[in-house]
Structure 1
């Protein structure tokens, strides 16, 4: 499985880009999954539901399933951050996993950047940076990395597909 990070400052449009890229990449015949690192406390479970009650009673893992989807929740009672590698080991193999977050890892990445944010490129001279996706008006001539038009999803998808083929 190939990993491609979508990185950038909060509010830059990472999630929106991934949301637009998924149907495009799938239309190109690429199987895609995603991993999203949340920096906020979150819970996919609701207090009072049976699955919540199972977890609170001490279940190590709780799986909830229906005819439409299933979800596995694991309590991290030991504390500490779960690694990207541990999460990936639990996933079904696909052609590409888009990773949002986990910026401390060294997988290849595309940075979403907007000059209007007034912040520097987050990846800077990161050797894993493949390209920068930005509004066309924000492109820098002569930059060390390719600049992709953030508003041209098909062009970004084509760049990713070409990268997958060369790897």
Structure 2
């Protein structure tokens, strides 16, 4: 599977960009998965529901299955947080995996950068960032610069640079 990290400061628009990219990548015939890493605890079901009660009672894994999707909740009681590699191995086959988070992993990345966010760009200190999607014009010593509102061009870059070549 090809892997592309989507990085940037909080509030830069990473999730919104991924939402816009997914249908366009699917139109190109790619099967795409997303891994979202969070530092926060996430509640997938209210505490009084069955799967939460099973986990609270000590189950290591609980699989919730519906006619529309399934989810496996795995409690990390006695094990460390899985690495990106371990997460990738748990996914079904795909052509491309977009990763939001895991910014220390050695994967190619696209930075989402908005100067109006008031935070510095990441690319000057991160050689893993191959391109920047921004709503500003490119500075002189920038990597490949893509306009954030031109999602079709970003998809072309992903297809040509990440999917076809890595």
* Common fold: TM-score over 0.5: yes
Which residue of structure 1 aligns with residue 128 of structure 2? 128
Tell me the TM-score normalized by structure 1: 0.94
Residue matched to 2:62: 62
Query: How far is the alpha carbon of 1:141 from its aligned partner?
Result: 4.3
CA RMSD, Structure 1 to Structure 2 (Å) = 1.3
**Of 98-107 and 122-131, the range deviating more from structure 2:** 122-131
- Per the alignment, residue 21 of structure 2 pairs with 21
CA deviations over 1:73-128 (Å, ceiling 9, x no partner): 10000253321111111101101000001111110000000111222112324222
Aligned residue pair count: 165
- Tell me what 1:39 maps to: 39
**Long gaps (5+) in structure 1:** none
Distance 1:125 1:52 in 2: 42
- Which residue does 1:159 correspond to in 2? 157
- Give the deviation of 1:46 after TM superposition: 1.4
Residue 143 (structure 1) shift: 2.8
Give the Cα–Cα distance (whole angstroms) in 2 for the partners of residues 100 and 124 of structure 1.
19
CA–CA separation in structure 2 for the residues paired with 1:123 and 1:59: 42
Q: Tell me the distance in 2 between the aligned counterparts of 1:97 and 1:158.
A: 16
Runs of 4+ in 1 over 6 A off after TM superposition: none
Note the residue ranges of structure 2 that are not aligned, 5 or more in a row.
none
Question: Which residue does 1:84 correspond to in 2?
Answer: 84
